[in-house]
Amino acid sequence: MESVAVLGRVLNRDPNGITHEEGGRSSATFPREEEMHLAVDAETIGFNPAAQLLQRTQRDGPVVKLEDGVIGIFDPVLALKVDRENAQDLKVAESLVDLLKIRKSAEPVAWREVRSLIAEQSAKLSAPAHMESLYARMHADLGMHSGSNQDLTKIVWQMMSRTLIPMVIDNVDSEGAHALIAEQELRFRVQQTQHISFRQRISDFRVLRASSRVISRELKRRVRSGDTHEDYAQSLLSLGNRIGVDRVTYLVTVQLIAISGVPGMMAACLLYAFSKYPDWYARIREETTALDADELYRLPVKKLPCTMRFIKEAMRLWTTPFVTRRIASRDIVLDGVSVMKGQTYELSSYIQHHSPEYWEDPETFDPDRWLPTRRQTAPSAYVPFGFAPRSCVGASVGHAQLLLYCALMTRDFRFDFAAGHSPRMRMDDGFAVPADMIGTISPVRD
């Protein structure tokens, strides 16, 4: 499950290379008209190792030897071929208990099988009734955090992950919900902090144990009672007879990890983009306010063309995570690349999304590049949900939530940045996170 694990820190911060380039605004609600088309890289903070790696590939070619024998494979077609080969016999990872031989190992289950259960459930969870409930939870969560000046990156990030929890595992009591939210908060903190003290680690371990117990208790209750719920846990529980409830608990935890980072980071990036590109904010607002009351929950993408292009472009420019590392499960020798069993190889959505080989003006935020008349030449270069066959299995729910979020932020809430704060993008930790997003969110009253 290394691709999920890398949602933490994958690239090291350069110890001396932090630079601060001022965005030029001292106080803000929206940027002034003349500031709207600033090159995005003029507004970033910090040294970005992925950008440096991109320069290297332009000089040395798309396959490069990195530190510690890691092979970087940055050509889109080659990346897919190697990843396909590697995923062929991937199995559900054994837990620590299995590795210590404390209990008999279960019959290995192909990861492919787990993925298809999750993907099937994602399609069900994208239905209008689930979208309506998700929207209501998102609305209520933001409503609770409106009013005073706060870090809006944190507010929207945590809102996205917390409101997805019932889709992963529903029907937990309020104490259980509290434990699951504490786990999401822990993961948010880990992704934000470089150094975690020993004391903190112990306390984090307790939080993870408590969350695991909540999941296990609910799964066992369902097995005993025959009770069912429409959530990811239920679909994974269908493997219970073969792998046991403990391993299903582990698989549910993987879902909780998956929702803890990227959806929230993308939401913060979209908020950043709303503030930088008010003309796009206005176009999106026009689309979302034109929808009938319940229409949004049917995800009417044809009626939201600007919103779709805006999300697509934000996911290109601020793709997350920048790099993904995997360990080769077998010897892979193809098209002049060889990766031996046990060796690590690295793929990069950042490099693919920022390469001038595939994109015109790659550093410019230009949603209209997605107009049918301006289609890019290498579609396989665009991988916002990762690399098939290990790409995101929650993509339909994740994308739907981003659409709902755009509606929420343009119709139901307004946001204002506090005087003296000027949002900029941090790109130095292996993913894009808007910084200095201090401001307020307030409900729009009719």
Least distance (Å) between residue 308 CB and ligand HEM: 14
Q: Of 258, 328, 408, 441, which one interacts with ligand HEM (CB under 6 A)? A: 258
Q: Quick check: 3 binds ligand HEM (CB under 6 A)?
A: yes
Q: Quick check: 164 binds ligand HEM (CB under 6 A)?
A: yes
Residue 64's CB: how many other CB atoms inside 10 A?
16
Tell me the sheet residues that pair with 44: 425
- Interface residues for ligand HEM in 95-124 (CB under 6 A)? 115, 118
Nearer to ligand HEM, 39 or 388 (CB): 388
Cα–Cα distance measured from residue 317 to residue 432, given in angstroms and rounded to the nearest whole number:
9
Cα–Cα distance measured from residue 243 to residue 255, given in angstroms and rounded to the nearest whole number:
17
Long-range contacts, 283-291 (Cβ 8 Å, 24+) = 283/310, 284/310, 284/406, 284/410, 285/410, 285/411, 288/406, 288/407, 288/410, 288/411, 289/410, 289/411, 291/407
Q: Quick check: 386 binds ligand HEM (CB under 6 A)?
A: yes
Q: Quick check: 92 binds ligand HEM (CB under 6 A)?
A: no
- Interface residues for ligand HEM in 216-255 (CB under 6 A)? 232, 254-255
Phi, psi angle pair for 211, to nearest 5°: -65, -40
Q: Of 53, 236, 262, 441, which one interacts with ligand HEM (CB under 6 A)? A: 262
Identify the H or E element spanning 186: helix 174-192
Q: Quick check: 259 binds ligand HEM (CB under 6 A)?
A: yes
Burial class (CB in 10 A: 0-12, 13-18, 19+), 378: middle
The rounded radius of gyration (Å) of the Cα atoms in the chain is 22
Q: Of 394, 430, 434, 439, which one interacts with ligand HEM (CB under 6 A)? A: 394
Least distance (Å) between residue 344 CB and ligand HEM: 14
Q: Quick check: 186 binds ligand HEM (CB under 6 A)?
A: no
Q: Quick check: 392 binds ligand HEM (CB under 6 A)?
A: yes
Cα–Cα distance measured from residue 441 to residue 154, given in angstroms and rounded to the nearest whole number:
12
Tell me the three state secondary structure of residue 121: helix
Q: Quick check: 268 binds ligand HEM (CB under 6 A)?
A: no
- Interface residues for ligand HEM in 20-79 (CB under 6 A)? none
Q: Quick check: 350 binds ligand HEM (CB under 6 A)?
A: no
Nearer to ligand HEM, 26 or 238 (CB): 238
Cα–Cα distance measured from residue 377 to residue 51, given in angstroms and rounded to the nearest whole number:
22
* Residues in contact with ligand HEM by the rule CB under 6 A: 1, 3-4, 115, 118, 164, 168, 232, 254-255, 258-259, 262-263, 266, 324, 384-387, 390-394, 397-398, 402
